[in-house]
A and B are shown apart, each in its own frame.
Chain A
Amino acid sequence: MFHMYLPIAGNSINVFLILGLGGLVGLLSGIFGVGGGFLMTPLLIMFGIPPTVAAASDSNQIVGASTSGTLAHYRLGNVDIKMGILLLIGGIIGGDIGVHIIKVLRALGNADFLINLTYVIMLGFVGTYMFIESLQSLKKSKEQGEEELKETSATPKESFYVKLMNSLPFQTHFEKSGVTMSALMPLILGIFVGILAAIMGVGGGFIMVPVMVYLLRMPMHVVVGTSLFQILFTCINVTIMQAYSNHTVDFVLALCLLLGSTIGAQFGTRISKRLKGDQLKIILATIVLLVMFKMLYSLLAKPSLMLSYAGGH
């Protein structure tokens, strides 16, 4: 009952299940400005969709969800287009570099192992840092104790970083974010995230968000809107490329996920507006850490089968 056949995935799936999955991931996307691919792809694989089709169709779905999310955030004045475009250009350059790095890694052998280990370390580092930082600032805003101000972590690093930022050319004022810095900063960081995203095979939203918050010093709400704006264009590129060269985009699957996720993204944006920046960060940090533990578990636990289908066949 209520099953739908997915011609590219080559399997059928319950319509309500896809709508529900789309809704859940769209909600997260709207709240945190992440594409949700890191959550959606493994869930789809769990329900019998081949990994390559799951990842490609999900990026098609993210195009819809992030259009809806970007629109909602744009109306709220949360999208820094200038910053977004610079990050995007960097992301595209970084993505190309990342693809070449993967080729070299594969030639050296054991690429998957290195990729997964990088994933776990990155997620662990980003998640822990965000969690501790937002917990501290939540405490500070509650107690407003003067003593705790001294305990701010990573202060020496930040001062060096500020010096570096100020010494770079092309200083630009980003009005929506309320920051002034070199235009090279978002470009370079975009390249960095692009490389990591390409190596890990993810959209990079949950690396981009912490980068915007901590390295570009953007306010959390503008981060969410701008991240969605950037993700929208990244996923347009990925969808067309995957459809053209690998035939892995299942439009039927993407459309069903889309219906759920665009609605979810709208609710997410409203929830995001009601939460404080630190609350948002702490929830996102928890999700990032959960994903990290799940990945670590899959690396450490003996798989039930020693064989799995290789993609693209």
Chain B
Amino acid sequence: MKLKYLYIILIGCFIIASKNVLAFTHSPETILIGTQYNGAKLHISGDILKDKDVIVEIKGTEKDAHFKQKGKVWGIFWMTVGHLTFKHAPSVYMLYLPSNLSGVVSKLGLGYKNVLSKIEIEPPPDTKYQILADFLKLKEKEGLYHINKNGIRYIQKGNEKKFRCEISIPPKMPPGKYEIVVYNLNNKHQIENIEKDSFEVKLTGFPKFISDMAFNHSLIYGILAVIIAILAGFVMGFIFKDKGGAH
């Protein structure tokens, strides 16, 4: 009998906890880059309790990134003065949060400040702060680093609410696997649990064919590119001749 009560209590706890534990879905699973691709939208949604909040993070892999550093030469000319390698910098970093949480992001160990603090630069520059600021500007310009302070929408459903988030995938986001991290926050704005999933950006059709050729059959690709260009030049030449333009 006691065991029965224990089961009921456990099931009850599980039901309550399952409302805290977040289950989110995203669509599409894979973003396909076709001929007319110009970026895409990734939709993330899930159900949470009424008094909870969520923050959505998108992260790319941490690959070494190489940059040229500019500086003054002879006191007047602005030139490349050195090369820098950035380590532990995610290729993509996006953060979507509801409007009421913009103040607590860094306290939670999220956001740019947290990402930039983990980056190592080699060789270590004198002006690391300035260089990191420029790195951020460069990434933001490409749409690869992005914070949307009003990026989560809630729809109330009785004691629960549905969250929705629309992620803008910029055309410059390279093919690869990306991590989706959804943070579930309690009413004190503390992280209660974290759920992860991933999505893929993949080349398909003609872009995939070109990319495969360029990287796997580079010599044939180069020769074909030249032959097609020459043929196109000839075709144009003859079209114009037929119109009687050339004498």
Interface on A for B, CB 8 Å cutoff?
Answer: 2-5, 7-8, 10-12, 48, 60-61, 63-72, 75-76, 110, 112-113, 116-117, 236, 239-245, 247, 249-252, 254-255, 258-259, 262-263, 265-266, 269-270, 298-303, 305-310, 313
Contact = CB atoms under 8 A, between A and B. Distances in A.
Contacts of A255: 228-229, 232
Contacts of B130: 306
B65 interface: yes
B240 to A, nearest CB: 4
- Where chain A touches its partner, the secondary structure class is helix
Nearest to A269: B246
Interface residues of B, number: 63
A308 B65 CA distance: 11
Given A64-B236, A239-B222, 13 more contacts: A64-B232, A112-B79, A239-B226, A243-B218, A243-B221, A243-B222, A251-B224, A251-B225, A259-B232, A263-B236, A301-B78, A307-B84, A309-B66
Contact of B172 (A11, A70, A270): A11
Contacts of B37: 3, 5, 12
28 contacts: A3-B171, A4-B36, A5-B37, A8-B210, A12-B171, A48-B172, A68-B233, A71-B233, A75-B241, A75-B246, A76-B247, A110-B79, A112-B79, A240-B219, A241-B222, A244-B222, A247-B214, A251-B225, A251-B228, A255-B228, A302-B78, A305-B137, A306-B71, A306-B130, A306-B134, A307-B134, A309-B138, A313-B66
Nearest to B216: A247
Determine which residue in A60, A71, A265 has the highest number of CB atoms from chain B within 10 A of its CB, and name it. A71
A239 B225 contact: yes
B237 A72 contact: yes
- Lowest 8 A-B CB distances belong to which pairs? A67-B233, A243-B222, A262-B236, A3-B38, A64-B229, A71-B237, A7-B207, A63-B229
A260 to B, nearest CB: 11
Contact of B39 (A12, A63, A110, A236): A12
B131 A307 contact: yes
Contact of A266 (B33, B36, B137, B245): B245
Interface in B191-247: 203, 206-208, 210-211, 214-215, 218-219, 221-226, 228-230, 232-237, 240-241, 245-247
Interface in B46-68: 65-68
Given A306-B130, A307-B134, A7 B70 contact: no
Nearest to B219: A244
A187 to B, nearest CB: 25
Interface of B: 33-39, 65-71, 73, 76-81, 83-84, 130-131, 134-135, 137-138, 142, 171-172, 174, 203, 206-208, 210-211, 214-215, 218-219, 221-226, 228-230, 232-237, 240-241, 245-247
Nearest to A298: B78
A302 to B, nearest CB: 6
A4 B35 contact: yes
Contacts of B211: 7-8
A11 B207 CA distance: 11
A299 B67 contact: no
Contacts of A245: 218
A112 B230 CA distance: 33
A303 B222 contact: no
Contacts of B215: 247
A251 B222 CA distance: 9
